[in-house]
Structure 1
Amino acid sequence: MLNITLIFFVSVIFELSQTYENLAVNRKTEQSSISEQSKHSGLAVDNNTDQRVSSCMRTNLEQEVWWRVDLGEIKSIYDIQVFYRNDSDANVKTRVDYHAGFALYISNTKCDGPTGGQLCYKNDDGEPPLQSDHICQIHGRYVTYYNERTGSGSNLPPSVVNTVTIAELCEVQVFGCSTGVFGDDCAEPCPQNCRDDLCKVETGVCLQCVDGWKGEFCNQTTTVFISVPQPIGSQPPSNYTVFIAIVFGVILMFLVVVIVALLYKVRKSKSSKSHVNAAYQGTLPAEESQGSNYATLNLEPTFLGHQYGHLETSNASRSSHPYLSVL
């Protein structure tokens, strides 16, 4: 009953994963060693899940083995399925023991060796089945199958005692989507504010947000904007529109400040000139006082003709008088 349940569970996962694209088909591959020319690494990505020996790649028996597929570019991976050789002969148990302890790694580069990148799965709790599925929602370009018997970090199941291992893979399927999309059929675009267009292949949750945004889907701004009511049925403004509006508002405020400052300066200058003119005009004589100032002395204008009559002195005597001769 337990075996039937396990088979059903694996079958359900297999069917679900079929909605994603197999990213590994006919991609470039390599392996640590090759037992014979006909067992090359490309047999594990030819889209043939036949588990007979003629359909499988194989390395030599060694203490450390690996096989790698290059997906061509960074992909959004959902799960990885591994098909081992299964000829149903007497050596099945031995082959399973060889596969025990294997690990799957996903990386963006192969410079760090077969165990570089993120660990997707490590078999250490029992002998692996001849067909297995491993949910592994990671972004990466290279998928590496790795196994070792080096005595350090092997973490083998208790029943495994062999000191060498082998990679004998009939097919490795890597299901997922290209970056920038998610969903069962890879048709939904990632939220627009996901950094580098990277989101989880199943849910669309962003791995990181671009600057200025936050939240699982990067749809919450970290900048405070003034909310302007939108007409019913209208589309909300784009990020670019909001940015332009803010810049325009700042420029407008700056111009208003400059204009107010100039008006104040002009008004102050006019006020200063008015005070100066008023002070100067206060020192000028009245209009009616211009010309002759003799009126203020109560003298008749005929005084200019030198009236001497009131002195009762003739012109002849005036010339002989020392005082009058001055006049």
Structure 2
Amino acid sequence: MSSTHDNLHGGRSSPACLAVNGKTDTVYRTLNTSKPNCVHTAVGDTNASWEVDLGRNYTVTNITIYRRERFQRRMSGIHVEVDSQTCYTFPLVNVDYRTLNSLPEKIDVTCTPPLTGRVVRLQKRGQPLNFDYGAELINICEVQVWGCRDGLYGADCGEQCGQCAGSDTCSAVSGHCPNRCQPGWKGDNCKQGKT
């Protein structure tokens, strides 16, 4: 996370990891409370960002973001990226105020096409402080990253991989095996067997 919010009353935002702890409650509670929740970048951070490293490359089909209750305008202009590839960009508050105001607390974003990468990042780019009160902030409570399980591929993860050589699994986007097919199997996706 690019910065951490501190308020005048001793409340400090929780660390970035609190946005991937499995809790989908959308009430912001500071680190000095008994049940801290949500993350909040600092006022004045006009290039605010938050990211999670998935540990290895995955093909990401969907990302679910739980925003802070009542503060939907803070989603203004957030770029949702997978290894610097844009999955979705939220509208700017001064361009599409109605869309932002109608955002639910649970927002489902679909990456079309699915994107392969290791780091999922929420990034704001240069929103000035006087743009709209709090519009430069990132204030989220939970991020869930969804992708195809090994052995499945396609836009909805509904296709089963063919017979890839060794312990390889196919591309979750195209279904192609990374090296070759198991003996006796052929075709683009190693689904054609000997008859």
TM-score band w.r.t. shorter chain: 0.5 to 0.7
Q: Post-superposition shift, 1:67?
A: 0.3
Structure 1 match to 2:117: 140
In structure 2, how many angstroms separate the alpha carbons of the residues matched to 1:135 and 1:164? 23
In structure 2, how many angstroms separate the alpha carbons of the residues matched to 1:77 and 1:163? 29
Secondary structure in 1 matching 2:18 = helix
Q: How does 1:196-275 map to 2 (within 5 A)?
A: 197-200=170-173, 205-206=174-175, 210=179, 215=188, 217=189, 219=191, 236=194
Change (3 A) 1:138 1:47: same
User: TM-score of the superposition, structure 1-length normalised?
Assistant: 0.43
1:58 to 30, 36, 40: 40
Structure 1 match to 2:146: 175
Query: Unaligned regions of 5+ residues in structure 2, if any?
Result: 7-11, 30-36
The amino acid of 1:172's aligned partner reads V
Q: Post-superposition shift, 1:199?
A: 2.4
Does the 8 Å CA contact 2:171/2:178 hold for their aligned counterparts?
no
Higher helix share: 1
In structure 1, how many angstroms separate the alpha carbons of the residues matched to 2:5 and 2:149? 34
Structure 1 match to 2:87: 120
Q: Post-superposition shift, 1:140?
A: 1.4
Q: Post-superposition shift, 1:190?
A: 2.2
1:166 to 137, 152, 159: 137
The amino acid of 1:99's aligned partner reads M
Structure 2 match to 1:78: 61
Change (3 A) 1:65 1:43: same
Q: Post-superposition shift, 1:193?
A: 4.8
Larger radius of gyration: 1
Q: How does 1:182-197 map to 2 (within 5 A)?
A: 182=153, 190-193=161-164, 197=170
| 1:34 paired to 2:13 | no
- The two structures, once aligned, show a CA RMSD in angstroms of 3.5
Change (3 A) 1:48 1:73: same
Larger RCO, structures 1/2 (Cα 8 Å, 6+ apart): 2
Does the 8 Å CA contact 1:76/1:178 hold for their aligned counterparts?
no
In structure 2, how many angstroms separate the alpha carbons of the residues matched to 1:106 and 1:48? 22
CA shift digits 1:195-247 (9 cap, x unpaired): 973123xxxx42576579764x3557xxxxxxxxxxxxxx727xxxxxxxxxx
Structure 2 match to 1:149: 126
In structure 1, how many angstroms separate the alpha carbons of the residues matched to 2:163 and 2:107? 35
Structure 2 match to 1:277: none
Change (3 A) 1:74 1:56: same
The amino acid of 1:53's aligned partner reads Y
User: TM-score of the superposition, structure 2-length normalised?
Assistant: 0.68
Structure 1 match to 2:75: 99
Does the 8 Å CA contact 1:149/1:163 hold for their aligned counterparts?
no
In structure 2, how many angstroms separate the alpha carbons of the residues matched to 1:163 and 1:38? 15
Does the 8 Å CA contact 1:64/1:150 hold for their aligned counterparts?
yes
In structure 1, how many angstroms separate the alpha carbons of the residues matched to 2:23 and 2:59? 23
Query: Unaligned regions of 5+ residues in structure 1, if any?
Result: 1-30, 87-91, 108-116, 152-159, 221-234, 238-327
Q: Post-superposition shift, 1:64?
A: 0.9
